[in-house]
Amino acid sequence: MKKKLNSISIIIFWLILWEITASVINKPYIFASFTDTLAMLFSLLSTKVFWISIFKTVIFTIFGFLSAFIFGLFFAIFSYKISFFKSFINPVLFILKSVPVASIIVIILLWFGSKYLSIYISFIVVFPQFYYAILSGLQNVNKEILEVAEIFRFSFHKKVLYIYRLSITPFLKNSISTACSLAFKSSVTAEIIGNTINTIGEQIYYSKIYLNSASLFSYSFVLIIIAYSFEKIIIQLINKLGGKV
């Protein structure tokens, strides 16, 4: 209870500071107040374009996120089993981690256009996170437990269920928070640069063009809530799958 009260008090403090700062600056088109942002958010909730933009960005980002997990899983398994494969894809992963996201966005725009840009970008940014997390989990499997499993002739299914899954879960949980935030941030960044139609990124781009900071803050706030909620859902799912035998 005390922890919740402290959290609420901190939030209220920052909201008051936000309101005071906006009053001091007194330029709503540059820095909208909390009340103006809240009013704008309620106004946007009644518009069709708001919900279409939210839906498209969320669906595309989640699709890229889940695709990155699936490919990360299979690539990690191949790397765990075949050392040559691990060495073979390391340069690609190094490039993906090192090249600025903006550069990757521009390249994807040149090659494929902006229609599915957020899917490609969220996949490319998140894939290394899942790959390294799953590979680390596989590499940290207790070899003695595997030997015991061989002695008792555990089936492949039982090894996955009782050994590999339990080893991978902690590493996967540690990467989820970063992966979720990266997926949504990079996805919306791509939408802004590519001016992708009917997306959160497009609405933020228009907010900048028309100097509408209240709209900008509203969409940013919604994006934070979505990313946070998605992260919590994924962590809960991993907890259930990781602890259930």
In sequence order, which residues have a C-beta less than 8 Å from that of residue 226 and are 6 or more positions away? 54, 58, 184
Q: Are 161 and 245 in contact (CB under 8 A)?
A: yes
Does the pLDDT at position 185 exceed 70?
A: yes
pTM of model > 0.75? yes
In sequence order, which residues have a C-beta less than 8 Å from that of residue 124 and are 6 or more positions away? 68, 96, 104, 108
Predicted local distance difference test score (pLDDT) of residue 111: 95
Q: What letter would DSSP give residue 210?
A: T
Predicted local distance difference test score (pLDDT) of residue 178: 87
- Angle at the Cα of 32 (from 231 to 177), degrees rounded to 5? 10
84-127 confidence digits (pLDDT tens): 999 999 999 999 888 999 999 999 999 999 999 999 999 999 99
Q: Which CATH architecture has domain 37-243?
A: Orthogonal Bundle (1.10)
Kindly list the domain boundaries of the chain, sorted by start residue.
Answer: 37-243
- Helices 165-194 and 101-112: crossing angle in degrees, nearest 10, is 70
Predicted confidence band of residue 180 (pLDDT cuts 50, 70, 90): very high
